[in-house]
Amino acid sequence: MALPQINTPTYELVVPSTDEKIKYRPFLVKEEKILMIAMEAEEQTGIINAVKDIVKACTFEKFNVSSAPMFDVEYVFLNIRAKSVGEISALKLKCPDDKKTVVDVQVDLTKVEVEMDKEHSNKIELTDEMGIIMTYPTVESFGEFDAGVTATNMIDLISSCILQIYDKKGEEVFEAKDSTRKELVEFIEQLNTKQFADVQKFFDTMPKLIHRVTVKNPKTKVESEVVLSGLNDFFG
């Protein structure tokens, strides 16, 4: 005799970058197990793949995980986790004033939002005649970096996020998909310091999963604000 099936509740959220409404469900034990194994291995690629697979399954494959910006995927996963394990995440944070005292903090995951910077733009003017149009890093982009994004591989990440290079003088638009990664890396490497800083600003100001909490140091009695950003900050 077949065993009875347990009904899984469904919920709805709005994807930050598109304002699209999607349905999702909590993750199941078999899916949580995959995530726990990846976290125990402490490999960046494994964790990202586990998050990607969970989000894909829990949104009934209606949310394109591979092409969505990383901050969208993080936001969707955060909501899935809140409905699966609990809306409160218990964290241990280091007090900023002495940088050593650790305090316990509880964060309500339902209050965490994707923050948009008013100065953010995906159009970067390198000179009066030339510029680039950027696209947001995806799960696939971050999946290429086993040890995470570092100063060493930052240029590789930037090159993977170029959508177009435009030349006003020649009225030409060069699609990044028509160039090799090597050609895009070489293009970035020829920028001067100011131009490279303008490109980095795109990443510094792009939408992020952010929440601010106030912590009080029990030893010094000093209150400080701690900014949590990205999935690692919310789950340790």
Residues 78 and 128 in one domain: no
Which residue type occupies 66?
S
Task: Classify strands 102-108 and 113-115 as parallel, antiparallel or unpaired.
Answer: unpaired
Position 111 in a domain: no
Position 100 in a domain: no
Rounded Cα distance between 79 and 76, Å, is 5
Position 232 in a domain: no
Is the CA virtual torsion 143, 211, 19, 136 positive or negative? negative
Instruction: Look at phi and psi of residue 66 and say left if phi exceeds 0, alpha if psi is from -120 to 50, else beta.
Output: alpha
CATH code at position 59: 3.30.2220
Rounded Cα distance between 173 and 57, Å, is 38
Q: What's the pTM?
A: 0.86
Residues 1 and 80 in one domain: yes
* Average predicted confidence (pLDDT) for the chain: 89
Position 134 in a domain: yes
Residue 152 is predicted with a pLDDT of 67
Dump pLDDT digits (tens) for 84-119.
988 999 999 999 999 999 999 999 999 999 998 998
What is the number of domains present in the chain?
A: 2
Rounded Cα distance between 144 and 39, Å, is 17
